[in-house]
Amino acid sequence: MEPDSLMGPRDPAACGEPVPGSAPRLGPRGASGSGPPSDVISRIGGTPLLRLSRVGRDLPRGVELWAKAEHFNPGGSVKDRAALAMVRSALADGRLPPGKTLLDASSGNTGIAYALLGALWGFPVEIILPKNASMERQRRILAYGARIRFSSPLEGTDGAQRLAKELAKDHPDRYFYPDQYNNPCNVMAHYRTTGPEIWRDSAGLVTHFVAGVGTGGTITGVGRYLKERRPEIRVTGVVPDSPLHGIEGLKHLETSLRPGILDDRYIDDWSRVSTDEAQRMTLRLAREEGLFVGTSSGAAVHAALKLGAGLEMGVLVTLLPDGGDRYLGEQYWNDGDR
C-alpha cells in the first residue's frame, strides 16, 4: 500500500508516541509539565478483544465474531486513544503551551477524553457540545473540571464544529483547536494502537473489520494498519441509514460535513443500520453477552452479524466504542419486548 500523505509526519513524537522521559505530569491548571506521572494515562488502550459467541450463535460454523471493548478505557470510550495522540502531539510541538485552553467540538466522548487529559496534564479544556448532548456526558466533562459551551441542538456535531472553528479563529492566542475531524493524529492513534492490538489479539487471523464512522479515525487507522499486514482483509464502515437518527457518535455522511481524515481507500463496503436495529442489538449485547455498551456498538455488531451470515469462513472483528452508562436517559433500555 502507498504511503499515506494524509497521515502526516512519521516521527513518533509528531503524533504523541510516548517519548522516553516525557511521562504525563500532574500540575496546576495552565501549568502543564510538572508533578508526578499519572498511571491513568498508561491505561489508555490495551482493551480486551472478546468473543461474541452468544449473539453470534447462529453464524455459519466457520465464522467467528469478536469485539474490541473500548469502554474499558479510563475515560470510558475509544476516543481516549485519539485525544491522547492529539494532545501529546500538541504538547510536544508547542501548540498547547501553558496558558492556552484546548477547545474542540464533540458529541461527548472526545470531550470527556480531553477533559480527563486536561485534568491530568493541567491545561484548561473547553468543549463545544450540541445542546441536546446527554446529561451523563455533560456531567462527566464537568466532573473533570472542564467547561462546556453549547451549540444549536438542531445542527448536531456539524454546528458544534462550526462554532469551535469560529472561536478558534477569533481567539488564536487563547485557544488550541485540535479539530478531531481533520487531525491526522486521530487516525495515527488507531494505526499505532487499535490496529496492532487487533492483529496481535486475533493472532493475525482477522479477515474482516467492521466499525462505525464518526470522525473516521478508527476505521481509517485500523483499516490502513490491517490492510498493510494483509491486503485481503475487508473493511466495512457502518453508518446510520437516515439523516435523523439516534445512533450517537455515527455520522450520516451524505448529509453531514465530511471529516477530512476519513479515507475511503481503506474501506471496501458500507453498511447502513437503522436506529431500531442498533438499539435492539445494544439490548441483546447487555442481555446475552453482559456487555452494557452504547448504541453505536449495537449498530456495529448488527452490521457485523449481517455480514457474517453471508460468509462460509471468517474471523470478524468489530469495535464497541463506548459504554451504556452515557445513554442512561434513553428510553429503550426497558423495552422488554424488543
Query: For residue 12, what are the contacts with CB-CB under 8 A and spacing of at least 6?
Result: 19
Q: Considering beta carbons, is residue 75 or 216 the nearer one to ligand PLP?
A: 216
Site for ligand PLP in 12-41 (CB under 6 A): none
What are phi and psi for residue 192, nearest 5 degrees? -95, -20
C-alpha cell at 53: 459467541
Q: Considering beta carbons, is residue 59 or 330 the nearer one to ligand PLP?
A: 330
76 near ligand PLP (CB under 6 A): no
Binding range to ligand PLP, per CB under 6 A, among 89-97, 129-137, 163-171, 242-250: 242-250
Binding range to ligand PLP, per CB under 6 A, among 14-22, 224-232, 244-252, 303-311: 244-252
The one catalytic residue among 79, 100, 165, 251:
79
Site for ligand PLP in 315-334 (CB under 6 A): 321-322
C-alpha cell at 78: 475509544
Q: Considering beta carbons, is residue 59 or 80 the nearer one to ligand PLP?
A: 80
308 near ligand PLP (CB under 6 A): no
Q: Considering beta carbons, is residue 79 or 284 the nearer one to ligand PLP?
A: 79
Residue pointed to by grid coordinates 446529561: 135
Residue from 75, 130, 217, 223 in contact with ligand PLP (CB under 6 A): 217
Q: Residue 312 CB, nearest distance to ligand PLP (Å)? A: 29
Site for ligand PLP in 248-277 (CB under 6 A): 248-250
What are phi and psi for residue 21, nearest 5 degrees? 85, 5
Cα Rg of the chain, angstroms = 19
Q: Whose CA is closest to 262, among 210, 223, 319, 317? A: 223
Binding range to ligand PLP, per CB under 6 A, among 134-142, 158-166, 194-202, 211-219: 211-219
The one catalytic residue among 77, 271, 296, 297:
296
Number of residues that bind ligand PLP (CB under 6 A): 19
Residue from 194, 218, 256, 279 in contact with ligand PLP (CB under 6 A): 218
Q: Residue 99 CB, nearest distance to ligand PLP (Å)? A: 28
Torsion sign across C-alpha atoms 113, 114, 120, 126: negative
Q: How far is CA 81 from CA 58, 86, 136, 322, in A?
A: 33, 9, 21, 12
Query: For residue 312, what are the contacts with CB-CB under 8 A and spacing of at least 6?
Result: 60, 62, 63
Q: Residue 57 CB, nearest distance to ligand PLP (Å)? A: 25
Site for ligand PLP in 80-139 (CB under 6 A): 107, 109-110
Instruction: Mark whether 131 is an active-site residue.
Output: no
Torsion sign across C-alpha atoms 105, 111, 115, 118: negative
Residue from 156, 212, 240, 298 in contact with ligand PLP (CB under 6 A): 212
Strand segments, DSSP code E, in 213-268 are: 234-240
Instruction: Mark whether 38 is an active-site residue.
Output: no
C-alpha cell at 176: 488550541
Residue 37, classed as helix, strand or coil, is strand
Residue from 24, 130, 156, 294 in contact with ligand PLP (CB under 6 A): 294
Q: What is the DSSP string of 54-123?
A: TTTTTS-TEEEEEEEEGGGSTTSBTHHHHHHHHHHHHHHHTSS-TTPEEEEE-SSHHHHHHHHHHHHHT-
- By CB under 6 A, name the binding residues for ligand PLP: 77, 79, 107, 109-110, 212-218, 248-250, 294, 296, 321-322
- Which residues are marked as active site? 79, 296
